[in-house]
Structure 1
Amino acid sequence: MVEVIPKHIKDVWDRWNIRGAIILSLSLQAILICFSPLRKRTPRRVLIMLVWSSYLLADWSANFAVGLISKNQGKDPKPDDPPQDKKLMALWAPFLLLHLGGPDTITAFALEDNALWLRHVFGLVFQAIAGVYVVLQSLPNSLWVIILLVFISGTIKYLERTTALYSASLDKFRDSMIQAPDPGPNYAKLMEEYKAKKEARLPTKIILIDEPDKEHRPKKLVHPSLVLPDEKKESQHLPNALPGGKKVGREKLHDLEIVQYAYKFFNTFKGLVVNLIFSFRERDESLEIFYNLHDSEEALRIIEVELGFLYDALFTKIAVLHTFIGSVSRLVAFGTLLAAFILFLKKPNKGHEFDGADVAVTLTLFIVGIALDIISVILFLFSDWTYAALSSLKDDPDEAVKSWHDKAFDWLLSFRQLHWTTNQKCHQDAHKCTEKCKKPCPKEVVDKCSEGHTHDVLSTNFFLRRWCGSINVFNFLAYATKAEVHRIHDARGSIRRYSWIIISYPFEKVYFIIQTLSGWIAYPISSVHKWISHIVNEKSRKHTWARRTIYPFYFGFISRIPHAIKYVWDFFSDLLDIADTVDMVQKTLFVHGEPMTRELWEFIFKQLKYKSKFGDSPENAKRISLARGEWSLRDNLPESADREKLVHYVSQFDYDQSLLMWHIATELCYQQKDTIAADEHHHSYREFSKIISDYMMYLLILQPGLMSEVAGIGKIRFRDTMAEADKFFHRRHIEDERSVKKASDTILDVKSKIEPMGVKGDRSKSVLFDASRLAKDLADMEKNCDVDKWKILSKVWVELLCHAACHCDSTAHVEQLSRGAELINFVWLLMAHFGLTDQFQINKGDARAKLIIGK
């Protein structure tokens, strides 16, 4: 009989399979505890894939190892096996239960994992039964005390993970925030008293008195676009500090206060995840604090810590461990594991009783397990949760950081402050010079082009940051023309910059070679086919034999071979989703990260702060959140401008349609020379428009989960527009130019007096020449009305971003936190803090009814 697997390989497997599975399980635990915290700091797919594969393999390897140990316990020992070998392996089973408990830094890879908490309960039961079965088979066993201690530690760890999954499942997460039922004032009793007084013929009336907090709420500005025809409201400016709470003032917050406020707002606004509603008290309290912050950077820091709390609550054990029971259980788990290790070290003659390799594996399990627990304790002690739990906000800002432990916390948190690289030169002007002369500009030219136009970019150290700190961008015209992508800001160091070039260069060249070869192959095949077809047709007209033999053979069989090959390729491409994968890889090559700039965040913050003055009611707040450009156009265009002409490009188009159209129009304007004298803010507005425009296109095409409202139709519209662009560039012979500037000039050269729909109909969803019309109207508005179109465009793009943020599903926002938070997540939470969301629906509260008897 032929052996498929040689005997010596089987022997090696039989001897090392259990040890290998144990070491694999331990290695996966080490990978998870070290690398899983990094996934919220970067969207890099390599890291995400490493964590994902380790997360899936960790449970499998532990269960597989337990099965191997159980099988080995039932085998008869071989002559060369140590007599106590099975007794030592019985100690490994509770270690695998410890591994199944998982590290503190990750309990769920995705939100869906939290919903499987019941599966983990059953897993705990059956894993415990399997462990007990293995131990019982090894009895009598001198290691039973050590086994019991490790078993207790493993059970506690598994219970912690199951509890964390249970509390983070969306249903339980919602239940934990729902307050006791509120029946409201006793309506029936009041009506009975009212009826009795009326029957007694007493002059009686009921008046309503608002809640005390509501009576003192300030009136807010009412924007003209929010006033309905039948509404009459008074306008009054917001004061510098809203009454009715702790006044933050204009002093800069301490690092500890940042964490304390973030924890306070986390407990308030975590209901956003499960779509709970909020009251005017919560809105006004948040609005008061955010309206009076020292600067926009403090808001950014509060929100990044708040998002970190949200991530920890839903994807890690930290929220469970920071309870009293959680802290005690962790001390017990670590203590029992340490005690078991000490007992094992003190056990005499273990080198003679057990195999040396097995003793080494056991010591490795103990040492690495204790080391991982120590790492977990360090992460636990130095987490934001610890600082927030062990300190509290002071009523007097002057006494915010007075005690020694508050000062220590503040000092430790200072290492995680946001760091900015100042005077970062912007390269778009130098890029234009490069396009003209086809070579890099000298340094002195770049410095001159960028003189006076500098921004501060976020450059916090990777291991100290709380989120990725960058904005991924994707440009339609750059992708359509296959042009080289240039960064506006480049805060990368030389090592990162050149390593990225080395990594991406081969992919770009392979893509270019494939594109070139496909063109070279397609052209001669087409030419040969035309030549042969001409000869066959000529012969068939002259000779009957050719018409009966060559003609049907060539046109019925030979000429159909390319079509058959294409049909087979399309079939397997659809079956294996090859086309979409290749298309996604192609798009990814044109994505790059722009670092967050202080000026961009400040601009977004001020826009939302300004709009918060008008969100005095749920209705107005909802109208503001629904705005997608019309607010800014009506509010910023002068009366002499034809406002409705530009508003038409928003109000008469679907959101995804206007998004793609405004994106292309922004790029068309960006590639043209400015027609008005630039003021000190002109370049900033221009840059803000470009970055947010490209960012929104990145979300629409490459992050459809964050654009769920328009993900389907947006993809169709993008493909139709891309098809029209390819066809147009091919006819104008600029498809090989690889120049966005050339493509933009060519598109704008087309006369577009008549709307494209009036010529093409509405079957095609392309918006290429609608965008051209919009770009020309923006240029005309700037020329005729003497306004900066970039100021208008930047504010329109902030509205489009805010519209996407508040209409994105809340679970999609939370899911993104585990892949490096995006700018849209920050805008979503900032809108909630300013009360610009439709979840603030309790505006009146309970009214106090008072029964008045008499005139």
Structure 2
Amino acid sequence: MIDPIPDRLKRIYVQWNIRGAILFSLGLQIILVLFASFRKRTANKFMIFLLWSCYLLADTVAVFAIGHIASSQGNGDPSDPPDTGNLLVFWSPFLLLHLGGPDTFTAFALEDNELWVRHLLFLASQVIPALYLFILTFGGSSLILPTILLFVAGCIKYLERTYALYLASMDQFRESAHQKPDAWPNYANALIKEYSSKIESKLPAKIIIVSEYGKITYQRFIRTPASAKLTDIQVLKKAHPFFDIFKGLIGDLNISFQHRMESRDFFTKLLPDEALQVLEVELNFLYEALFTKAVVVHSKAGYVCRFVSSTAVVAGLAIFIFHVKKHGRYGNFDIGVTYALLFSALALDFIALLRSIFSNWTVVALTKSNYRESLPWWQSWAIRSRLKRWSKTIPVYNLIGYCLETRETWIRRVIHDTGLGGDFMDGILYVKRREFSMDLWKFIFQELMNKSRLAEDDLDTANKIYAARGNFILQEMEWDAYRDNLTPYITDVGYDVSLLIWHIATELLFNTNPNKPDLVDIESSLSSVSTRKKYCKIMSDYMLYLLIMQPTMMAASAGISKFRFLDTCKEAKRFFEGEGIRSAAAHEEACVKILEWNTDVPIQFVLFDASRLAKELNKLDEDQRWELLSKVWVELVSYAAGHCRAIAHAQQLSSGGELLTFVWLLMSHFGLTDKFQLPKSRIMPQLIFGK
């Protein structure tokens, strides 16, 4: 039988499979260490795909190399130097280091954290072959000491990763977020014991009942001086306690009413940009707790483990240098690979050390020291020169634009019929990204703060605001004349249909206005009407993007949103074909034609309802029209933010972040959520001595 693989290729494979895998594993680690933190700063699909690929390949390649090192003992290439086998065994602990991964990347998705038990078993499965290799070479290898040192460092690294996954698993994360239990049961038990003791001693005693409930006390925020803005250090000092409290939302836990009052008092006294900074830092803490080793590294045990592992690597390097000078019976290339592994391990540890020193966790730890009035200059510089903590972009997706741009080709039919990345391709081709606008944030912040002040301590009003999706704003007196005509487009249809109707209506009004504003620079406009148009346009396109491209972030009622969208697209395409509109350049003409549609005869089409809604809104003055639309869109955004599962918000932190997540957390701080414990009055017994 003829062997299809030439002997020369077999020799090349035998000689290079381990070396190639080792170098490839090292390259993957370098990429992950240098670029893993980009996950929270970019929404670029190709960058995220690259990091995802490296994350998956890193474990596979390391396991492949360890297995081949074990199988190569006694079966090496005869042309290799005599001690090559011992050197290969010395390489195996580096693969454990690689399996431990970088500090900035433990999990790609939240589901990875739930697999911490598998990683623990996986560690055992890799330690066993490593121990087997040690036994094989124990008597005849002079590299056994540095091998053991590197093995200890590798085990520590992998245990760090496994423990980080364990702490970020949902059960444990929820447990860490539990607030201190109420002292009432302890008080009641102590009271009963004391009363029984007095009765047994025949001392006069009785229990009376008083009302304990009074006004809830909480720590108020006072600016000093009143006009001063929050410093970067103050932002960190405020954000970290809020992170500790509000991380319970990820585990569907309720927040105490006292914390609601403290948080609401603080955020209602902030400027919009200050609130954004606090939210950015708070979400950054959440990201690092869920997707990195930050919680493990920034602990006493973490400091000890990091010192031991780094010391072991340094000692291993020193011993190897001495050993090579004395017993240099290895190939030059293999010696070069070994030095690359050792110096890379040191360099990656040094990078991790720098990141740890300049991290927010270290700053918070230093500011908690009572004897420190200010931070060292290098820490202050690190805070001021920080990189952005999220992508600061807003993805937008437009229904009419999509219908005009898409062409039904056989390639598209194959992609969509087979499910081979249709949404992924649409996301690349038709989703655009706009720069995050501080003016838009200020507008959303002001609207939510006004509603928070309106609710104050009235939880019924807060619940109405939380449940509103455009109908709450219509209850204001100034909209009395239009309420009956506009409310059905909100309350008589599901949330997903309502979103589509208001999206199309906004698009029609935006494009049929002769003074259409420029969307590139939202801060450039001095006209309040023009600015509100931009707000509406961006929020409208953003919400459609979430509805179609990120359905897990939408309210549970938006379950069939994709089918609604596709049906509406079919309606629109048929309408455009009937009107002879076949070019994306005819976007404005398409909007005019839809707006001119005869709506006297009712038809059960989303496009038809949107045209009728646009005509109703056209009855308002331009100022009123865009004021109402902008306020309705804030409610539609806040409804989606509040009714999205908290775990879906957390997942987006590893993909550049979402504006919706900031709105969700801001609403929580303003007390506009259903995740607060209701204050209860309590009947408090007291023990009275004497007659």
How many aligned positions are there?
A: 671
Shift of 1:575: 7.2
C-alpha distance in structure 1 between counterparts of 2:452 and 2:674, whole Å = 13
The SS at the match of 2:211 is strand
C-alpha distance in structure 2 between counterparts of 1:638 and 1:180, whole Å = 46
Normalised TM-score (structure 2): 0.91
The SS at the match of 1:630 is coil
Q: Please, which moves more after superposition, 619-628 or 115-124?
A: 619-628
**Cα distance change of structure 1 residues 850 and 791 upon mapping to structure 2, 3 Å threshold:** farther
Q: Which residue of 2 aligns with 1:312?
A: 288
The SS at the match of 1:207 is strand
- Of the three residues 211, 230, 234, the one matched with 1:208 is 211
- Of the three residues 243, 248, 265, the one matched with 1:266 is 243
Q: Is 1:770 aligned to 2:609, yes or no?
A: yes
Shift of 1:584: 4.7
Provide, for residues 162-206 of structure 1, a one-character-per-residue CA deviation record: whole Å limited to 9, x for no partner. Answer: 110000000111112224654735669989989x99xxxx99974
CA contact (8 A) 2:216 2:258 kept: no
C-alpha distance in structure 2 between counterparts of 1:683 and 1:646, whole Å = 23
The SS at the match of 1:471 is strand
Q: Which residue of 1 aligns with 2:42?
A: 42
Q: Please show how residues 320-719 of structure 1 align to structure 2 within 5 Å.
A: 320-349=296-325, 352-392=328-368, 402-403=373-374, 405=376, 408-416=378-386, 464-482=387-405, 576-578=418-420, 581-582=421-422, 584-586=424-426, 588-613=428-453, 614-635=455-476, 637-639=478-480, 641-673=481-513, 680-707=527-554, 709-719=556-566
**Cα distance change of structure 1 residues 174 and 14 upon mapping to structure 2, 3 Å threshold:** same
Shift of 1:770: 0.4
**Cα distance change of structure 1 residues 267 and 652 upon mapping to structure 2, 3 Å threshold:** same
CA contact (8 A) 1:40 1:467 kept: yes
Provide, for residues 769-789 of structure 1, a one-character-per-residue CA deviation record: whole Å limited to 9, x for no partner. Answer: 101111111111337xxx521
CA contact (8 A) 1:479 1:590 kept: yes
CA contact (8 A) 1:250 1:292 kept: no
Q: Is 1:252 aligned to 2:250, yes or no?
A: no
Provide, for residues 214-250 of structure 1, a one-character-per-residue CA deviation record: whole Å limited to 9, x for no partner. Answer: 3457xxxxxxxxxxxxxxxxxxxxxxxxx64555744
Shift of 1:607: 0.8
The SS at the match of 1:780 is coil
Provide, for residues 21-70 of structure 1, a one-character-per-residue CA deviation record: whole Å limited to 9, x for no partner. Answer: 11111111111111111011011111111111111111111111011000
C-alpha distance in structure 1 between counterparts of 2:599 and 2:425, whole Å = 34
- Of the three residues 794, 808, 811, the one matched with 2:647 is 811
What is the letter of the counterpart of residue 660 of structure 2? I
The SS at the match of 1:739 is helix
Normalised TM-score (structure 1): 0.74
Q: Is 1:794 aligned to 2:630, yes or no?
A: yes
Shift of 1:738: 3.5
CA contact (8 A) 1:313 1:319 kept: yes
Shift of 1:679: 8.6
**Cα distance change of structure 1 residues 846 and 356 upon mapping to structure 2, 3 Å threshold:** farther
C-alpha distance in structure 2 between counterparts of 1:837 and 1:747, whole Å = 38
**Uncovered stretches (5+) of structure 2, i.e. residues with no partner:** 200-204, 517-524
Q: Which residue of 2 aligns with 1:277?
A: 254
Q: Which residue of 2 aligns with 1:493?
A: none
Provide, for residues 80-108 of structure 1, a one-character-per-residue CA deviation record: whole Å limited to 9, x for no partner. Answer: 33221111111011111111111111000
**Uncovered stretches (5+) of structure 1, i.e. residues with no partner:** 218-242, 417-463, 483-510, 519-565, 758-765
CA contact (8 A) 2:506 2:614 kept: yes
What is the letter of the counterpart of residue 663 of structure 2? V
CA contact (8 A) 2:210 2:683 kept: no
What is the letter of the counterpart of residue 693 of structure 1? S
C-alpha distance in structure 2 between counterparts of 1:628 and 1:590, whole Å = 27
CA contact (8 A) 2:211 2:682 kept: no
Q: Please, which moves more after superposition, 767-776 or 840-849?
A: 840-849
Question: Rg: which structure is higher?
Answer: 1
C-alpha distance in structure 2 between counterparts of 1:145 and 1:165, whole Å = 31
CA contact (8 A) 1:334 1:370 kept: yes
Q: Is 1:175 aligned to 2:175, yes or no?
A: yes
**Cα distance change of structure 1 residues 404 and 65 upon mapping to structure 2, 3 Å threshold:** closer
Shift of 1:412: 2.6
The SS at the match of 2:559 is helix
CA contact (8 A) 1:479 1:587 kept: no
What is the letter of the counterpart of residue 383 of structure 2? L
Q: Which residue of 1 aligns with 2:520?
A: none
CA contact (8 A) 1:247 1:289 kept: no
C-alpha distance in structure 2 between counterparts of 1:390 and 1:644, whole Å = 58
C-alpha distance in structure 1 between counterparts of 2:477 and 2:535, whole Å = 17
CA contact (8 A) 1:33 1:372 kept: yes
The SS at the match of 1:166 is helix
**Identity across the alignment (%):** 41
C-alpha distance in structure 1 between counterparts of 2:612 and 2:583, whole Å = 25
**Cα distance change of structure 1 residues 326 and 745 upon mapping to structure 2, 3 Å threshold:** same
Shift of 1:616: 1.7
CA contact (8 A) 1:146 1:340 kept: yes
The SS at the match of 2:680 is coil
Q: Which residue of 2 aligns with 1:836?
A: 672
Shift of 1:355: 1.7
**Cα distance change of structure 1 residues 9 and 472 upon mapping to structure 2, 3 Å threshold:** same
C-alpha distance in structure 2 between counterparts of 1:659 and 1:586, whole Å = 20
The SS at the match of 2:385 is helix
C-alpha distance in structure 2 between counterparts of 1:662 and 1:282, whole Å = 36
What is the letter of the counterpart of residue 603 of structure 2? P
The SS at the match of 1:756 is coil
Q: Please show how residues 115-154 of structure 1 align to structure 2 within 5 Å.
A: 115-140=114-139, 141-154=141-154
Shift of 1:733: 1.3
Q: Please, which moves more after superposition, 617-626 or 280-289?
A: 617-626
**Cα distance change of structure 1 residues 583 and 136 upon mapping to structure 2, 3 Å threshold:** closer
C-alpha distance in structure 1 between counterparts of 2:181 and 2:276, whole Å = 35
**Cα distance change of structure 1 residues 672 and 149 upon mapping to structure 2, 3 Å threshold:** same
Q: Please, which moves more after superposition, 60-69 or 706-715?
A: 706-715
**Cα distance change of structure 1 residues 155 and 582 upon mapping to structure 2, 3 Å threshold:** closer
Q: Which residue of 2 aligns with 1:763?
A: none
Shift of 1:74: 3.5
Shift of 1:146: 0.6
**Cα distance change of structure 1 residues 701 and 393 upon mapping to structure 2, 3 Å threshold:** farther
Provide, for residues 502-526 of structure 1, a one-character-per-residue CA deviation record: whole Å limited to 9, x for no partner. Answer: xxxxxxxxx87x85xx8xxxxxxxx
The SS at the match of 1:728 is helix
Q: Please, which moves more after superposition, 184-193 or 666-675?
A: 184-193
Root-mean-square deviation (CA, aligned residues, Å) is: 3.0
CA contact (8 A) 2:208 2:685 kept: no
CA contact (8 A) 2:423 2:549 kept: no
